[in-house]
Amino acid sequence: MSLPMRLSDALWRRPRVLLLLLLVPPLLWLGIVYLGSLFALLAQSFFSIDEFSGLINYEFTLRTYGELFRAANLDIILRTLVIAAAVTIAAAVIAFPIAFYAARYARGRWKALFYLGIMLPLWSSYLVKVYAWKLILAREGILNWLLETLHLDWLLAAYLSLPVLGGNSLSVSWTGTFLVFLYVWLPFMILPIQAALERIPPSMLEAAGDLGADRGQTLRYVILPLALPGIVAGSIFTFSLTLGDYIIPQIIGTSARMIGQAVYQFQGTAGNIPLAAAFAVVPIVIMGIYLTVARRLGAFDAL
């Protein structure tokens, strides 16, 4: 009997071995390269840094986690959460009509167009998208030009004078950061909502109409509850991506930091790996809570 035949026989006799052979390479890679690194990082969050020598003190301590609760660091965490929440809500509001139209009304050619119209921005280079907004928000850029041409520049000036939201120009304001986040993550919100909406059988909407619901009532009592898992699924992306990003706020925004930037700077310029690790745990914990709640709401069926 030939060797392949003999190997094949052996695999049939021991189906578990086949399964093991399939699983071992990916699990080795992800287990060692990825999980190994992740645990190595998390382990370091239980060390501390010697404030005088700047060296890492390899003794178990919760002191580093305690530092997270300093006012400055707490500020960073809260700020990031507020931005992430704002981006998520705005993305849901803008995404819903697009997803709704694409799922329920677009047919044939239009359907394909909508699909690609969402996929192409989703997959376009992240940096290019950020760069595009740098062009748009620049002082000499298209937005200011447009407002000047329409003689609405006083409106922008008034807006920029607002505390917190405003600033010297849009590209160094929280509004700018928010806009870019919203733009970059929006497709991640549209797709799961569209998937959820497409699963609603049309007969269900007809039944709602048949029972006397008008458009608004159908939307409110039938479509929205059924789309909720999709919205929650989308919010997982927008929320998680905003929590961990450090490039967008660095390029467009104020000098106040977000979690991602803090992690980046503590491990880089500051050389405080334990604190960076502890900061990295924050989004993991937040997303852990978020995912648990989302699972309860059935969001994973919409992924």
Partner 1 sequence: MASAISFEGVTRQFGTVRAVDSLDLEIAEGEFFALLGPSGSGKTTSLRLVAGFERPSAGRVRIFGQDAGATPPYRRPVNTVFQDYALFPHLNVRDNVAFGLRVAGKPRPERYRAAEAALEMVKLPGYADRKPSELSGGQRQRVALARALVNQPKVLLLDEPLGALDLKLREQMQEELKSLQRSLGITFVFVTHDQGEALSMADRVAVFNEGRIQQVGTPVEVYDSPATPFVADFVGSSNVLPSSIVARLTGHRHPASLRPERIRLAEAGLAATVTGASFLGAATRLFVEAEGARMSVLLPKGALVPDTGSEVRLDWDADALHVMTGAQDG
Partner 2 sequence: MHSDRASLGLKIAAIAGLLFLHLPILLIFVYAFTTEDTSYQWPPPGLTLRWFAVTWNRPDVWEALSLSIRVAAISTAIALLLGTLCAAAVARSRFFGRETVSLLVILPIALPGVITGISLRSAFNLAEIPFSFWTIVMGHATFCVVVVYNNAVARFRRTSGSLIEASMDLGATYFQTFRLVILPNIATALLAGGMLAFALSFDEVIVTTFTSGQQQTLPIWMLEELVRPRQRPVTNVVAMVVVLVTFLPILGAYYLTRGTDTVAGQGK
**Residues 9-38 interacting with partner 1 (rule: CB under 8 A):** 9, 12-13
Q: Find the part of the chain contacting partner 1 (CB under 8 A) among 6-14, 155-163, 169-177, 286-294.
A: 6-14
287 binding partner (options partner 2, partner 1, none; Cβ < 5 to 8 Å by kind): partner 2
How many residues form the binding site for partner 1 (CB under 8 A)?
4
114 binding partner (options partner 2, partner 1, none; Cβ < 5 to 8 Å by kind): partner 2
Q: Rounded CA gap, 200 and 297, in Å? A: 17
Q: Find the part of the chain contacting partner 2 (CB under 8 A) among 47-55, 57-65, 198-206, 224-232.
A: 198-206
Q: What is the dihedral of CA 36, 37, 42, 46, to 10 degrees?
A: 90
Nearer to partner 1, 12 or 58 (CB): 12
CB of 223 to partner 2, least distance (A): 9
Q: Rounded CA gap, 80 and 67, in Å? A: 17
Torsion sign across C-alpha atoms 70, 168, 91, 220 = positive
b/e map 286-296, b = 16+ CB within 10 Å: bbeebeeebee
280 binding partner (options partner 2, partner 1, none; Cβ < 5 to 8 Å by kind): partner 2
Q: What residues between 209 and 228 interact with partner 2 by CB under 8 A?
A: 209, 215, 218
R_g over Cα of the chain: 25
Structure letter (DSSP) for residue 31: I
253 binding partner (options partner 2, partner 1, none; Cβ < 5 to 8 Å by kind): none
CB of 31 to partner 2, least distance (A): 7
Nearer to partner 2, 174 or 183 (CB): 183
Cβ atoms within 10 A of the Cβ of 55, count?
9
Q: Find the part of the chain contacting partner 1 (CB under 8 A) among 8-16, 21-29, 83-91, 293-301.
A: 8-16
**Residues in Cβ contact with 93 at an 8 Å cutoff, skipping those fewer than 6 apart:** none
Q: Rounded CA gap, 284 and 138, in Å? A: 34
Q: Rounded CA gap, 242 and 245, in Å? A: 5
Nearer to partner 1, 13 or 109 (CB): 13
CB of 13 to partner 1, least distance (A): 7
Nearer to partner 2, 32 or 161 (CB): 32
Q: Rounded CA gap, 199 and 303, in Å? A: 12
CB of 202 to partner 1, least distance (A): 26
Q: What residues between 125 and 184 interact with partner 2 by CB under 8 A?
A: 125-136, 138, 140-142, 145, 183
Cα angle vertex 269, ends 268, 270, to 5°?
95
Cα angle vertex 263, ends 55, 188, to 5°?
160
Nearer to partner 1, 13 or 151 (CB): 13
131 binding partner (options partner 2, partner 1, none; Cβ < 5 to 8 Å by kind): partner 2
Q: What is the dihedral of CA 204, 208, 209, 215, to 10 degrees?
A: -100
Binding stretches for partner 1 (CB under 8 A)? 8-9, 12-13
